[in-house]
C-alpha cells in the first residue's frame, strides 16, 4: 500500500462500503471496518451462531453463508471473508 494511502486512509477507521450480502447484516451505509466486525459479532451472538463445543467456530446461517462461502469458519478466518465484501 502506498504511504499516501496509509496516511489518508486511516486503516481501521476509514469507512468502507459493505457488499449487498454484508449490508443485510450491518446495513448499507459506509462504516469503519472495526464497526463492521462489531456488528457481525452482535449478529452472531444474537442468533446463537457460535458452536457451543468450540466458541471459536461460527456456524453460518442463510445470511452468513454468502459472505463466508461455507457452513462454518473460525473467528480468525472471519476477517478474511469480510474483506472480500468491503470496498
- Concatenated DSSP letters for 11-53? GGGSEEPBPHHHHHHH-SS-EEHHHHHHHHHHHHHHTT-EETT
pLDDT higher than 90, residue 12:
no
Residue 77 lies in a domain: yes
Per-residue pLDDT reduced to its tens digit, 38-83: 999 999 999 999 999 999 999 999 999 999 999 999 999 999 999 9
Higher-pLDDT residue of 57, 14:
57
Assign 14 a pLDDT band (cuts: 50, 70, 90): confident
Q: How many domains does the chain have?
A: 1
The candidate with the shortest Cα–Cα distance to 22, out of 64, 69, 77, is 64
- Please report whether residue 32 resides in a domain: yes
Model pTM?
Answer: 0.82
20 is in which domain, residue-wise? 15-83
Amino acid at each position: 500500500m502506498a504511504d499516501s494511502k496509509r496516511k489518508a486512509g486511516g486503516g481501521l477507521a476509514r469507512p468502507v462500503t459493505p457488499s449487498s450480502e454484508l449490508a443485510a447484516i450491518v446495513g448499507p451505509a459506509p462504516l469503519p471496518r472495526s464497526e463492521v466486525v462489531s456488528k457481525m459479532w452482535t449478529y452472531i451472538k444474537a442468533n446463537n451462531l457460535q458452536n457451543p463445543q468450540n466458541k471459536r467456530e461460527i456456524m453460518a446461517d442463510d445470511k452468513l453463508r454468502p459472505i463466508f462461502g461455507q457452513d462454518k469458519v473460525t473467528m480468525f478466518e472471519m476477517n478474511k471473508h469480510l474483506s472480500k465484501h468491503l470496498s
